[in-house]
Amino acid sequence: MIEGRGLLNKLLCPGRIRVNRTERTVRIGITIALVGWGLLVLNHCIYSFWLASGPPNDYPNVWYQRGIKDGWLALTFIAAGVFVQFKWVTVKNNWLVRVCSLSLVIGMVYPHAREFFLIDQCLDSGGSWSVEYFECQH
């Protein structure tokens, strides 16, 4: 058995935690995979924002929207990697985890809501929405 007393363990669960080595190894493996994937998606997010504002291209609005989606997706993967380190009972009953989870859900919905309202505003003003350029054309 391993006793965990790291900073996150102290923050989320003040009592002692005991887990067996196999479970701990699996949790660490899943965390490495999720955080690694999150960092890869974050890299694509940064690249998308760079393309949106950096070199001249035909689709800056498309790259900006892609950067927003990838940014929230990366944060979700990284947070999931952190949450995997704790027992379900601890994660389920902690207010900090609930706030983080709610923030991530709102963040994942934001790009889709933004896209919906941009399209709606365009169509209401009499324009036509260009999916290819992600902008309103009058």
CA dihedral sign of residues 71, 72, 73, 74? positive
pLDDT of the residue at 92: 81
pLDDT of the residue at 1: 47
pLDDT of the residue at 138: 84
**pLDDT tens, residue order, the chain (138 aa):** 455 556 655 655 555 556 678 888 998 999 999 999 999 999 999 999 999 998 898 999 999 999 999 999 999 999 999 988 888 787 788 888 889 889 999 999 999 999 999 999 999 999 999 998 999 998
pLDDT of the residue at 5: 55
Residues 6+ apart with CB under 8 A from 99: none
Rounded to the nearest 5 degrees, what angle is found at the Cα of 24, between the Cα atoms of 22 and 29?
95
pLDDT of the residue at 32: 96
- In sequence order, what are the beta bridge partners of 137? 128
